[in-house]
Every structure is written in C-alpha cells, then in structure tokens.
Structure 1
Amino acid sequence: MSHLLELSGVHTHIGAYHILHGVDLQVPEGEVTMLLGRNGAGKSTTLRTIMGLWAASAGSVRLAGCPIGGPGGHLPTPDIAQRGVAYVPEGMGIFGELTVSENLLLAARSARREADLDPARLEWLFGLFPALHKFWRYPAGKLSGGQKQMLAVARALIEPRALLLVDEPSKGLAPAIVQNLIAAFAELKRQRATLLLVEQNFMMARALGDHVAVMDNGRVVHAGSMAALADDVALQQRLLGLSLGAHQ
C-alpha cells in the first residue's frame, strides 16, 4: 500500500502547551482516512500541523516521500499548498462579502479572472454542489450553513489536488445537508481522491472511510480499517466512549 502522507513521531507545541505527543499516522493514496477521537484529542491540531499552520517541534511530516514538516524540514503553508494539499478548516474560512464565484476564483491559482476558470472543472463542481451554480453571484455570507460548507469544499477542489484535509465538515449541519456532503465525498472517493477527514458524525465516517485512526491525548491510539471499527462495538466503546451503531 502506497502512503501519500506519513507522520512519524510528530510533536506540536502551541505556546506553552504541548498538544501532540508523538503522532504516527499514514494516509494511503487514493483512499479515505477518517481521523476520530473525543473533543480535545488533537485532531484539528494534527491537520493544522500537516498544513504548516503550526510547526512540528519534533518528528517528521512527509508528503509523497518528501519532508514538509518537522525540525529542519518545515515548509511554509503556501509551499505546502503548492504541492497540492488543500485544507478546509472547521470554521470554513470563506469570505462573506465576496460572491460564490469570487471565493472560488481566489482559490484557483491558475486563474486571474472568472473566464480563466476551467469550465469542465466548474461543471463537475456544480454536479457535486448544485446550490453553488444557483447562487453563483450571491455574497457568500448570505448562504446557509450547509451551502457555506459546500463552498468551502468546492474552493479546495477548484483545481486538482493531491490531498484534501477537511476538519469536521458535517458539524452543525442538518441531516439532509450531511447526506449531500456524503454523496459529494463519495463521488471523490470513486475518483480515487486522497482524503483525510476529521469527523464526529459516525454515520458519515462509516459511509466514507476506508481507514481510520483514533486519537486520544495527542496520540494515535488505534489505526485500522473503518469497517472493522464499525463492526466492533466493544472497541468503539473503549476508544470513543460510544457505539457507532447508535448513530445510524
């Protein structure tokens, strides 16, 4: 199995706080890896460390075998993005005063104006998220929460990416919107995209995940197949304190 992303012994400090305590994580190429764990386990910090927003104080982060993070190998976030890594933060990070089209244009490094956007890529995104076509000229700040999340994901996908990092995409969304997101991510999965998703919605995790890593207290305490975790109620209780079956 080829791993596109590998974290080995990664520690991250934020000021005086030691958040990650030796994270080991592998993300296979062309598959979906779910990063699960209780609140405060270090999941969001892991994504931000991969993206270079916070520097690893020890260990290494490697993308396609090349170091992008860790002492002596830390790349700035723009350089990591240039290597094809896209990040959708928990807060979405959209620009509310700009239109849907302007938000997407800002994320398209190869386009300076709307006419430069790849029309085939846009049609593909509209197929995943039809609301974006409908509200193309609307200020993004006027979209619903679910539509803003769709825009945040679409912005990460406006150009082909090697790796997509998404932090809690379903948080706070209505069940119908969550189903729309599951369908969109499932389409990416069919196209053999490489995704690392932090998620608290276990129905979504089970529907999408090929692999799972569970974090606790700044470490990965379990790694394996998502299907195996979904089938093992005792393991769910031990690692997460709840049963995936209760979230069907």
Structure 2
Amino acid sequence: MPDDTLLQLAGVHTHIGEYHILQGVDLQVPRSGLTVLLGRNGAGKSTTLRTIMGLWHASAGRITFDGQDITALQTPDISRAGIAFVPEDMGIFSNLTVQENLRLAAIRGSFDEARLEWIFSFFPALKRFWLRPGGTLSGGQKQMVAIARAIIEPRKLLLIDEPTKGLAPSIVDNLARAFEELKARDTTILLVEQNFNFVRELGDHVAVMDDGRIVHHGRMTELSDDETLQARLLGLHAGAVH
C-alpha cells in the first residue's frame, strides 16, 4: 500500500444473505483528504462503508487501514483503530440527550472542552438542544448530533453516509467548513453523497460505483471540469442541480 494511502480495499466482495452486493471493490483513500464515493442508488456505496466498519464482513478480498489488515476485525476494534462512522440513519439513541449521545463517544466519558466549543462553532444549535432527548429532534438536528458524535474525539478516518440529507442550506455550509478544518487537522474523510454541487468543491478525490464495483477513480477536479464524463458516469447534464 503506498505511503500516502490510509485505506485500501482490494478485491472486496460482500454478501448479504443471498445477495452479492460488493463484487470486487478496489478502492484507495489517500491520507488527509476528502474522497467522495458516488453512484446511483443501490450501487453498493453504503455497503462499502458498512463493510469497512465491520458491520458486514467481506466474504473475499482485503481491507487495509494505516498498514493494518482490518478485514476480519470486529466493529469495536475497528473503531479503536481510529475510524468513526456516521450512517445514513444517523444511529441516534432516542432516549438519551444530545449531551449523553456525545458523551458515549468521548474517551473516558469526558469532553475536551476546547474541541466541544470548536464543534459548537459549526453547529451552534447543539447548545440549544443539549439536554433534549435525541428522539425529539428533527432529521436535520439528528444529523448534526451524529456528525458531532463522530468528531468529538480526533479520528484518523471518518466514514460519512449522506451527511447533507435533510439539512438546511446554512447548515450545509457550516458542514463544508467543518470538513475543510478536519482535513487541515489531518483527518481523512470518505464521504458518500448525492449532492454533487456540495462535493464538487469539497472533494479531493472521487470514486464512482456501479453494480458493486468501482468504475472510475481520480481527482475530483477532473470529474468536475468534464461534463461529458459526468453525463457518462452520473447522468448529470450542464447546469443540473443535485
């Protein structure tokens, strides 16, 4: 694995019951950047994140993270290695307050106050519903909590599935700023996202999935500047808003 690669999937297959979802995924995620995973619904993007996190185990192939083979590790061990995951369904504990949801992810159950204030600078609304149960929050508020929980401690790699879903434009802008600062702090991000206008400015690298395989990978600028390539890979057209 090259020195500038933090995460590598080599020939990864994943079966869920009788369904063969990932069919030989080859993916490299460079360090300290944001890699976007694009593709139509059902292409295997979320399954890729969940397989990396050990929620579903690869039936073949190898996953290497920071020089360590994590293919067969259990999810808690993968988390301890330095990977955090924000699933599409957010995974908020409904009966716990926002504070308690974040405390579960904090080392030794206590907060780094400076880091907490840094998170509040992106999501100031967290202070307002700090003591509110997670189950009473809106979808956008739950998304903020899920992302804040993932970054309450420094992580080497963030896996984030559809983070802008349900968020107001102003919060999406704050989220983009948070991702930029995380990259500046040497955090690597692998992001699944449908909003191409959001990721085209934010992403450093891009991979496109179709039918359980990677069908394109390269620099985001190459895809962003090539409307013909966008149309072929994503079905986008000039001026489209997604």
TM-score bin (small chain): over 0.9
- Cα distance in 2, alignment partners of residues 42 and 75 from structure 1: 21
Specify the alignment match of 1:81 in structure 2: 79
- Cα distance in 2, alignment partners of residues 183 and 55 from structure 1: 33
Alignment of 1:201-216 (within 5 A): 201-216=195-210
- Cα distance in 2, alignment partners of residues 151 and 201 from structure 1: 20
SS at match of 2:59: strand
Alignment of 1:137-176 (within 5 A): 137-176=131-170
- Cα distance in 2, alignment partners of residues 100 and 245 from structure 1: 39
- Extract unaligned runs of 5+ from structure 2: none
Say if 1:244 and 1:106 are closer, same or farther in 2 by CA, change over 3 A: farther
- Deviations 1:171-194, CA, capped at 9 Å, x for gaps: 233333322322222222233320
- Deviations 1:190-214, CA, capped at 9 Å, x for gaps: 3332000000000111121000000
- Cα distance in 2, alignment partners of residues 207 and 180 from structure 1: 14
Specify the alignment match of 1:28 in structure 2: 30
Q: Which moved more, 1:132-141 or 1:149-158?
A: 132-141
SS at match of 2:240: helix
Q: Is the 8 A contact 1:203 1:244 kept in 2?
A: no
Specify the alignment match of 1:134 in structure 2: 128
- Deviations 1:24-76, CA, capped at 9 Å, x for gaps: 0001110000000000000000000000011101110000111001xxxx000
- Cα distance in 1, alignment partners of residues 143 and 114 from structure 2: 22
Q: Is the 8 A contact 1:236 1:244 kept in 2?
A: no
Say if 1:169 and 1:120 are closer, same or farther in 2 by CA, change over 3 A: same
Specify the alignment match of 1:40 in structure 2: 42
Q: Is the 8 A contact 1:202 1:244 kept in 2?
A: no
Instruction: Report the TM-score, using the length of structure 2 for normalisation.
Output: 0.95
- Cα distance in 2, alignment partners of residues 120 and 175 from structure 1: 26
2:185 to 180, 188, 191: 191
1:58 to 54, 60, 67: 60
Instruction: Report the TM-score, using the length of structure 1 for normalisation.
Output: 0.93
- Extract unaligned runs of 5+ from structure 1: none
Q: CA RMSD in A?
A: 1.4
Tell me which stretches of 4 or more aligned residues in structure 1 moved more than 4 Å: none
Q: Is the 8 A contact 2:86 2:146 kept in 1?
A: yes
- Cα distance in 1, alignment partners of residues 237 and 32 from structure 2: 28
Q: Is the 8 A contact 2:140 2:165 kept in 1?
A: no
Say if 1:222 and 1:94 are closer, same or farther in 2 by CA, change over 3 A: same
Identity of aligned residues (%): 66
- Cα distance in 2, alignment partners of residues 61 and 81 from structure 1: 14
Is residue 2:108 matched to residue 1:110? yes
Q: Is the 8 A contact 1:182 1:207 kept in 2?
A: no
